[in-house]
């Protein structure tokens, strides 16, 4: 069970730690340029059983590299654009026009910033799943040996099952399903070839912002064999830093679900083992 946006705000940090100490959260992913990143690193060091990965931010956030080094990717103030589709097109053009030099600088800057924390890198995922962008993933694979990237979130989800649970927002979910099934088909053999660990299934994309108790109870009761990741966005209250990008998210409801006694009981009665990417064996050892 993973919580994204660690380091974005104190309210997120507090929720992540509470869900880990008193709930079912096993891992999180750090925004290294988040306003509360330093606090998050300190909290992670106080809770060594919490696995921490890198939440790669390439939209809706601040860059790690100086704006002068990546002028075609960010504003003069060093921030990325707010629109992920537009950002994705910009990264494709950066690759065509400049060989992806600026994009590589930024990705490496975020990896280096994570390495400087001294925390073990449990896995890598991306804000808005931008880590699976066809121009981003090859850079990550090239840098993987240097920065110890051993596990990556392979975002894709059964659209039919998601719609059977909640048929609202059909257009958005259909678009997400098509896009990320395509990206996953591109990424899967490349990650496997690099011996990078992935979960067998990933849940949370189609229900993003609403991973509540009812959803977790339904999902836990139907999990198939194998390794499944469920990711969410808990916070004590909606953080001001994320509010413009996550309208309608029930952050507090997600925290309540993660710490729910009924959810904990369902995990135990269903013989579900709570693990993190850090505990999964290397791909060449997996059967």
| pLDDT tens sequence for the chain (287 residues) | 999 999 999 999 999 999 999 999 999 999 999 999 999 999 999 999 999 999 999 999 999 999 999 999 999 899 998 888 888 888 887 776 677 899 999 999 999 999 999 999 999 999 999 999 999 999 999 999 999 999 999 998 888 888 989 998 999 999 999 999 999 999 999 999 999 999 999 999 999 999 999 999 999 989 999 999 999 999 999 999 899 999 999 999 999 999 999 999 999 999 999 999 999 988 644 43
Q: How many CB atoms lie within 10 A of CB 278?
A: 19
Question: What per-residue confidence (pLDDT) applies to 97?
Answer: 66
**Taking the model in full, what pTM does it have?**
0.94
CA angle 278, 284, 287 (to 5 degrees): 90
Measured CA to CA in angstroms, residue 213 lies from 7, 155, 158, 250 at distances of 24, 22, 20, 12
Residue-wise burial string across 114-145, b where 16 or more C-beta atoms lie within 10 A, e elsewhere:
beebebebbbbbbbbbbbbbebbbebbbebbe
Spatial contact of 277 and 42, defined as CB atoms under 8 Å apart: no
Task: Please measure the distance between the N-terminal and C-terminal CA atoms of the chain and give it in whole angstroms.
Answer: 22
Sorted by where each starts, the structural domains of the chain and their CATH numbers stand as 2-282 (3.20.20.370)
Structure tokens at 160: 């039919």
Residue 268, burial from CB neighbour count under 10 angstroms (0-12, 13-18, 19+)? exposed
Instruction: Specify the residue for token string 């060093």.
Output: 78
What pLDDT is attached to residue 283?
62
Predicted confidence at residue 31, as pLDDT, reads 98
Asked if 3 and 9 touch (Cβ cutoff 8 Å), the reply is: no
Cβ atoms 72, 98 nearer than 8 A: yes
Residue 255 has which token pair? 């925290």
**pLDDT at residue 285 in the model:** 45
Decide: 243 and 216 in contact? Cβ < 8 Å.
Answer: no
Q: Could you give the CA distance from residue 223 to residue 270 in angstroms, rounded to a whole number?
A: 9
Determine the Cα–Cα distance for residues 39 and 17; give it in Å rounded to an integer. 11
């Amino acid at each position: 069970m993973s919580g994204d946006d660690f380091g974005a705000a104190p309210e997120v940090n507090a929720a992540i730690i509470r869900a880990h100490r008193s709930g079912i959260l096993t891992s999180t992913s750090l925004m290294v340029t988040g306003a509360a990143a330093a606090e998050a690193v300190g909290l992670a060091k106080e809770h060594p059983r919490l696995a921490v990965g890198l939440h790669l931010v390439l939209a809706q956030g601040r860059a790690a590299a100086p704006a002068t080094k990546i002028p075609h990717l960010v504003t003069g103030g060093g921030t990325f654009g707010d629109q992920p589709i537009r950002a994705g097109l910009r990264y494709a053009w950066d690759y065509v026009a400049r060989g992806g030099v600026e994009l590589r600088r930024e990705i490496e800057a975020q990896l280096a910033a994570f390495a400087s924390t001294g925390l073990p890198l449990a896995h890598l995922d991306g804000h808005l799943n931008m880590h699976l962008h066809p121009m981003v993933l090859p850079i990550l694979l090239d840098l993987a040996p240097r920065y110890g990237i051993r596990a990556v979130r392979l975002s894709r989800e059964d659209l039919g099952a998601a719609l059977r649970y909640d048929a609202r927002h059909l257009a958005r979910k259909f678009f997400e399903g098509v896009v990320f099934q395509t990206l996953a088909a591109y990424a899967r053999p490349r990650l496997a070839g690099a011996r990078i660990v992935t979960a067998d299934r990933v849940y949370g994309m189609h229900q993003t912002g609403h991973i509540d108790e009812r959803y977790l109870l339904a999902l836990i009761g139907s999990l198939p064999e194998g390794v499944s990741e469920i990711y969410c966005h808990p916070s004590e209250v909606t953080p001001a830093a994320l509010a413009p990008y996550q309208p309608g998210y029930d952050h507090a409801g997600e925290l309540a679900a993660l710490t729910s006694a009924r959810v904990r009981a369902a995990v135990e009665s269903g013989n579900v083992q709570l693990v993190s990417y850090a505990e999964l064996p290397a791909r060449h050892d997996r059967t």
